[in-house]
Homo-oligomer: A and B are copies of this chain.
């Protein structure tokens, strides 16, 4: 049987998957863009503020008119936010103005109401103000043509607020890749039904769908196949016809009734052993140009395969923050099988990284408790407490 290192297989997955994830731009409404990734540099279509406006409730005047105080000025108008207000005021006069209202030409500062007698027909100003004080100038936040945000940014509420402020209706974002998930195995049944002899509940469909969704992917179909090659082939071709890529689980190892390997090998798929535990049996194929990643069926193997082979490629292609691989000290000694790169399930604690379980690939509860994969190189058989080990943040 052919075999590969983890790094070699990761490279092959990347080579096959990346072109299928090439950025495609689509427009989405600002109201639906939270968490999406900006597909292009966006420049402002206008100055912000669009017009000079008051930072305070008070009186708009020429600074010149309040140079000597106290001074009493006639109030010629009142302008509230949303009003057009007078186009211009004369020297020696004042306009009552509310926060956010346009400052008329001829006025170049605002005297806050608390520095006046708040008069109606005329106002006595007690404090001088310099030109520009309490006025937000046109374009002082953003100039028309300024870069608002660079391509590749993951959009937060703050970004959306800025886009809304400049009147954006639709934002160019990267289309989320469309994936199909196919789980295989005659032993799988849906939740809510009683287990018959030899049957187990299908957990890989939800594990893969949720993992994809959490990494910027739309899951367009989730199917379950029996071990009948005809049935699998039918589901597979439906998936490759509608998705950018497909992930399957199960049916890849060396036993009999390995439906995924059986169907995809004649189509040029690679099936073999990757030097890791869990997740050793792997497959990789392309059907009508659509990448098909074939993970082993054990639930923990499936999830570890996703973390190691799919997630880094997906996040890079989506412009999302990369998977963090850190070196952290072990809380306790560990031993590891020689000749296999181990991905043990661990947790970060104040005492260091603790292991949640042994290498057994069926321990889904231990994986659920874990927050890191502990990556033990294949030539390492023992590590001491305090030794730094590479961990992948889940």
Hey, which bits of chain A sit against chain B, CB under 8 A?
A: 30-31, 34-35, 44, 46, 48-51, 55, 57, 78-85, 98-102, 113, 136, 140-142, 146, 148-149, 156-169, 185-188, 191-192, 195-211, 213-214, 227, 253-257, 297-299, 303, 360-368, 370, 394
Chain B residues contacting A299 (CB-CB under 8 Å) are 161, 165
- The reply to whether A82 and B164 form a contact with Cβ atoms under 8 Å apart is no
Assembly CA distance A192 to B214 (angstroms): 32
Chain B residues closer than 8 Å to A254, beta-carbon distance: 57, 113
Residue of B nearest to A211 (CB): B157
A30 to B167, CA, bound (A): 39
Query: How many chain copies does the complex carry?
Result: 2
A161 touches B203 (CB 8 A): yes
Contacts of A102 in B (CB 8 A): 197-198
Q: Are B256 and A98 in contact (CB under 8 A)?
A: yes
Residue of B nearest to A210 (CB): B157
Task: Please state if B160 and A364 are interface contacts (CB–CB under 8 Å).
Answer: no
Contact status of A361 and B165, CB under 8 A, knowing A207-B158, A210-B160, A303-B158? no
Which of A188, A197, A210 has the most C-beta atoms of chain B within 10 angstroms of its own C-beta? A210
Q: State the CA gap A195–B49 with chains docked (Å).
A: 12
CB-based contact B362/A136 at 8 Å: yes
- Specify which chain B residues have a CB less than 8 angstroms from the CB of A146 in the assembled complex: 365
B residues in contact with A44, CB < 8 Å: 365
Residues of B within 8 A of A203 (CB): 161-162, 164-165
Q: Let me know if A82 and B185 touch, CB within 8 A.
A: yes
Closest B residue to A368 by beta carbon equals B162
